[in-house]
Chains A and B, each alone.
Chain A
């Protein structure tokens, strides 16, 4: 080996501890900073910032990347998501996926919720299984109702990208029950805790 190469390798080795140190904050340290809005370990106490505990990591990553790239409408998350690398977002996704979701009761209209339950079974259950409980699609059961309202309004206004087949299903639910459809679904999800 040439002298110069050996020297280069030795210098790299000497730098190694510094490189390790610059690995950045842990997922837990990053996730702790979210709690002021999303609750300790991601269970929000409301009234509108969503719970993110027990969230599917892929859904979390997609949501954060959409905020980061200004693909998804938000008030503040587009500004915050830009502060994190792809690796850091992945780390936070797994941190929150492992936290147990704690839900709170919400005021809802039981009659609307009953209609929402029917609509859910017909149009949403296939992806948001078990009434929208934590699974591999976004958590809907027990999610904060104002947040669900904002999210649905943004989907319908084209300000938030629909995942997979969701647009067809939302259109079908609205065709079925008119404007009542989304509020019925939201009251159904709000009724679960």
Chain B
């Protein structure tokens, strides 16, 4: 393809219009290969790498990730009910390599935005024309007294799918009949807003068959949560929620659900009003952007501010921040949101390399929760950018939740579509 045609193609694909000569990288138009370094091999990082190569196969794209394989957090609550293995959520990076992405397994210690260099713990450095940072979340360990990374080995957070997911599954399997599980939900904002409540349902799904007198209590520092009406309805249809024999109990902020401290030796939680003791405790700590974002001066408070037209950092030029770590209000911190943002960023980066303005961004979020073998619910939104307020706003009249009181057939179909959503999201990011 000649450069003229390639430019034309990119303009069509990215929606870009010709920009003034002040924008872009004039030098790159003369034939140099632009380099993109992507940090983080999750949904945001993989999707941006794949779509950069898809939009412009001439780009040199390097993705740096610490783990050799990816294990998805979405659908990992199904491991707790026993419906799924952790292996079924684990994928290698061979698919990305087939798209021409250079995959490096190393730990990024920091970015130097002034020199446009990425440094790794392994001692390597990578130069870039654009750097995409998609590190996901990290925990604010200091917030619950007595809970730290070491304690989390035995009282798991299981908020990154992996060994802790299996630890939590084993603990639930080995607790006595009539045992008590406590899930400590985090304050907003956090990754996967419906996750703690789906988790309660997935644990109940296992207990219903194997430990029918078990109790699952959610201690929550909030008074409202994602898909609340649908969760309460599903819990009540499946697990007796709202009755005296309910398997699931939810205690919000007003009821004293905020947890302040833990004594790991007795598995006792000190909440605002009273103490709670349990056989199995799962603490999902408060969250902030991943480590590399802090090490590279990309945060303002807990998260990374970005220009939502391109997802370029508001703090450093040529660095883009995607997914959970970015401050992308009003999109939730979800896998689908990260995927959608990655495509906007990929198009904006390619447009920039070609000296053209980025196109108008468009976003979608869809998110499923599975409450029982045949009970799925979802939330969806279509978003556009309000440039004046730099806010991603959902389009009025569209999106929203699955209807309340839907038929069993409808809830069953949503389970099957949830599994499709999982498979296609994975395929779209790394296959």
Contact = CB atoms under 8 A, between A and B. Distances in A.
Q: Is the interface of A mostly helix, strand, loop or mixed?
A: loop
B424 A38 contact: yes
A75 B395 CA distance: 19
Contacts of A169: none
Interface stretch (B86-94, B270-278, B316-324, B360-368): B360-368
A37 B420 contact: yes
A34 B382 CA distance: 11
A29 B364 contact: no
Contacts of B363: 33
Given A33-B340, A80-B398, A83-B382, A44 B420 contact: yes
A25 B420 contact: no
B14 to A, nearest CB: 7
Contacts of B398: 79-84
Contact of B428 (A28, A39, A144): A39
25 contacts: A21-B17, A21-B360, A25-B361, A26-B360, A29-B15, A29-B360, A29-B361, A32-B51, A33-B343, A36-B340, A37-B424, A39-B428, A40-B427, A45-B431, A46-B420, A46-B423, A48-B420, A75-B410, A75-B413, A76-B402, A79-B398, A80-B364, A80-B366, A82-B382, A83-B382
B301 interface: no
Interface centre among B14, B381, B399, B427 (most CB of A within 10 A): B427
B417 A37 contact: yes
A49 interface: yes
- 8 shortest interchain CB distances as A-B pairs: A83-B382, A83-B398, A26-B15, A25-B362, A82-B398, A49-B420, A33-B364, A35-B428
B425 to A, nearest CB: 5
Given A37-B366, A76-B378, 9 more contacts: A24-B362, A25-B359, A30-B362, A35-B424, A44-B420, A45-B423, A45-B431, A48-B416, A82-B395
B341 to A, nearest CB: 10
A146 interface: yes
Nearest to B335: A36
Contacts of A32: 51, 343
A82 B340 CA distance: 18
B284 interface: no
B285 to A, nearest CB: 28
Interface of A: 20-26, 28-30, 32-40, 44-49, 75-76, 79-84, 144, 146, 150
Interface string B393-431: 001011110100000001001101101110111011001
A49 B347 contact: no
Contacts of B417: 37, 48-49, 75-76
A108 B333 CA distance: 39
A68 B361 CA distance: 21
B68 to A, nearest CB: 23
A116 B295 CA distance: 62
A36 B380 CA distance: 12
